[in-house]
Amino acid sequence: MKSLEQVEQTHNEHIDQYIQHVFETVKKRNPHESEFHQAVKEVLDSLIPALVQNPHYINQAILERIVEPERVITFRVPWVDDQGHVQVNRGFRVQYNSAIGPYKGGIRFHPTVNASIIKFLGFEQIFKNALTGQPIGGGKGGADFDPKGKSDGEIMRFCQSFMSELSKHIGPDIDVPAGDIGVGAREVGYLFGQYKKIRGGFEAGVLTGKGIGYGGSLARKEATGYGTVYFVEEMLKDNDLCFKDSTVVVSGSGNVSIYAMEKAMELGANVVACSDSSGYIYDKKGINLNTVKRLKEVEHKRIHEYVKEHPDAIYTDDPSGIWSVPCDIALPCATQNEIDHHSAQILVSNGVKAIGEGANMPSTHEAINLFLKENILFAPGKAANAGGVSVSSLEMAQNSARLSWSFEEVNNRLHRIMKSIYRNSKDAAETYGAPGNLVVGANIAGFVRVADAMIEQGVI
């Protein structure tokens, strides 16, 4: 007769095989979409303990359903450049899961955008949005359009063409896009203007990240970066560490990066390095954030310009080299897969104590496994960067109620939400037998909320 332990082991092996089967189907149905496969694998691998405790998720085919987007829209985006030439880009919107609310997720304009990138981001968004506790489903969109070097007029015409098609598929109770890489307040403004013109009405809640003068929320710009630091602060506190007097490296110099640097500095950290896609700067005495903000937010220049004004700082022509700068805390806030196994090894050998992902999926599987093996505190992006979408949801709430909260009010709410995301992820990790593993905790906590809602709504 088999012992209880053997029975349990066989049961777990069956679940493992079932998960592998779901994953193989995803790969077969979505060939050559490596980023999407990577995001799905990370979530599925975390779910074994949740499926062991909740076998009805298997009977109800929740995994098979959750990996398949409810809808994927691909469309042509034609526009006219300043020379009068017609250009054509490809637009995407994936409406992934609406079990707990209207689809919600950003729009990315970047030449690397394709179905794999948008699906990986949309899939992650389902669990991230569930973790916030807000009533928002998962979605994501974008285009393979490169805003770099484009005039203001070209950006506006592109946004108008993009929205001419997208407007058919979104609405305040249907799907509410926001910004992401390459889409900031300016682009959201052009997108909103075109939506308003097409619809013939002022539906403020259709987009978030709007300008403050027409329905935007205070503290939205700061939300993702601040939220990442709030989350990491909780994780550090639990381990008798803090930002004060620590050395911090933050990749990128865009929206998330700038406000992660700002909050880390406010908490007493010395932020010594940041980057863009061409290279990184190292300023031993501490980055001058006013210079970075002016260069990046106002003048739209490259980060190497920084050293002209701060000659003690060093510029290196290799963005991934930033991970060789010794630090206590590393905050990857630029893009996917920016920390590979090699970079992770360098961070570990230089004594890094904590990693907080401000970007989406910035660490590869191998890098994450190394951090976990070496007991480096690790805050996964899905949980740590959920501050942006949380405040987007608060923007929707303010739009519905036709009022606007003060910066302090929004920031306090953001802080409370990030603390609660941390607590829920930590508790889920403990409940499901992986104490301290916030990857498992965040994936399960987000998954359970969506899975339960899907079951209550029947097979749809």
Q: Tell me the β-bridge partners of 108.
A: 142
Rounding to the nearest 10 degrees, give the CA dihedral for residues 289, 279, 255, 271: -40
The verdict on 275 binding ligand NDP (CB under 6 A) reads: yes
360 binds ligand NDP (CB under 6 A): yes
Q: Which of 157, 149, 124 is nearest to 139 (CA)?
A: 124
Write down the least CB distance from residue 396 to ligand NDP, Å: 14
CA angle 147, 89, 74 (to 5 degrees): 120
Catalytic residue among 119, 140, 150, 382: 140
Which part of the chain contacts ligand NDP (CB under 6 A), choosing from 64-72, 76-84, 175-183, 398-406? 175-183
Among 33, 42, 180, 222, binds ligand NDP (CB under 6 A): 180
Pick the closest to residue 238 from 379, 431, 433, 351 (CA basis). Answer: 379
x/- mask, ligand NDP, residues 301-330, rule CB under 6 A, reads ------------------x-----------
Question: Do residues 147 and 79 make contact, with C-beta atoms less than 8 angstroms apart?
Answer: no
Give 49 or 141: the residue with its C-beta nearer to ligand NDP. Answer: 141
Binding mask 228-257 for ligand NDP (x = CB under 6 A): -----------------------xxxxxxx
Judged by CB under 6 A, the residue of 97, 194, 335, 443 near ligand NDP is: 335
Residues listed for the chain: 460
Options 46, 129, 208, 385; binder of ligand NDP; rule CB under 6 A: 385
Task: Answer yes or no whether residue 277 interacts with ligand NDP by CB under 6 A.
Answer: yes
The verdict on whether 128 is a catalytic residue reads no
CB contact set of 447 (below 8 Å; sequence gap of 6+): 43, 47, 50, 66, 127, 130
Pick from 311, 419, 438: nearest CA to 372: 438
Q: Which residues contact 181 (CB under 8 A, 6 or more apart)?
A: 108, 109, 110, 254, 335
Per-residue string for binding with ligand NDP, 195-234, x by CB under 6 A?
-----------------------------x----------
User: If binding is defined by CB under 6 A, does position 124 make contact with ligand NDP?
Assistant: no
Nearest-5° Cα angle at 311, 310 to 314? 95
| Residues that contact ligand NDP, how many (by CB under 6 A) | 26
Nearer to ligand NDP, 163 or 384 (CB): 384
CA distance 77 to 121: 21
Write down the least CB distance from residue 173 to ligand NDP, Å. Answer: 22
Q: Which of 219, 229, 334, 377 contacts ligand NDP by CB under 6 A?
A: 334
Q: Which residue is nearest to ligand NDP (CB)?
A: 254
- Our CA angle for 437, 442, 445, nearest 5°, is 120
Angstrom distance (rounded) from CA 175 to CA 122: 12
Q: Which residues bind ligand NDP (CB under 6 A)?
A: 179-182, 224, 251-257, 275-278, 319, 333-335, 338, 358-360, 385, 388
Q: Which residues are catalytic?
A: 140
